[in-house]
């Protein structure tokens, strides 16, 4: 009996190059259709709370872009721009308030957070149905760093 290498039986797949901008445009259009349907059935737009702690220039650009794209897609955007000396308790209180806000359907907490705030604790405080995909990716980053989520 001959031993086989683990990859000998793996299905082959061809790599393909995708047009990221075109894909993003299709995705935005689909989100806009969903937002319009949400507005028609519930009488209001879905809402995204965006939380930024501190003044990191790259994070500011990212957050500004996310809020702009949300508005273009028919999603209300609620910015929460906090000073870098905001305490962990203050941030967790804000997350609790957003979790209970009926106009907020998604919460995006921009990482990295200042060193005195435990990122994994903040992410874990977000009510799972309100967790944005960006926050889910952040959980993976925390896991990769060895931080519990």
* CB-based contacts of 123, cutoff 8 Å, min separation 6: 109, 131, 135, 138, 139, 142, 149
- 5, 21, 55, 59: the catalytic one is 59
Q: Is the dihedral of CA 102, 91, 147, 139 positive or negative?
A: positive
Q: Is the peptide bond between 119 and the residue preceding it cis, with omega within 30 degrees of 0? A: no
Backbone angles phi, psi at 100, to 5 degrees: -100, 5
Residue 69 annotated among the catalytic residues of the structure:
no
User: For the CA atoms of the chain, what is the radius of gyration?
Assistant: 19
- 73, 77, 110, 132: the catalytic one is 110
Residue 60 annotated among the catalytic residues of the structure:
no
Backbone angles phi, psi at 142, to 5 degrees: -60, -40
- 5, 21, 55, 66: the catalytic one is 66
Q: Which residues are the active-site residues?
A: 59, 66, 110
């Amino acid at each position: 009996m001959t031993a086989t290498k683990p990859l000998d039986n793996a299905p082959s797949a061809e790599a393909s190059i995708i047009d990221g901008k075109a894909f993003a445009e299709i995705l935005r259009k689909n989100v806009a259709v969903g937002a319009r349907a949400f507005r028609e059935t519930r009488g209001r737009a879905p809402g995204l709370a965006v939380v930024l702690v501190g003044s990191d220039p790259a994070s500011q650009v990212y957050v500004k872009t996310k809020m702009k794209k949300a508005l273009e897609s028919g999603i209300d955007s609620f910015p929460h721009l906090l000073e870098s000396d905001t305490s962990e308790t203050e941030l967790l209180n804000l997350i609790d308030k957003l979790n209970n806000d009926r106009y907020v359907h998604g919460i995006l907490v921009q990482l990295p957070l200042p060193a005195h705030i435990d990122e994994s604790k903040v992410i874990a405080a977000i009510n799972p149905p309100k967790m944005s995909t960006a926050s889910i990716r952040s959980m993976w980053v925390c896991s990769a760093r060895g931080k519990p989520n």
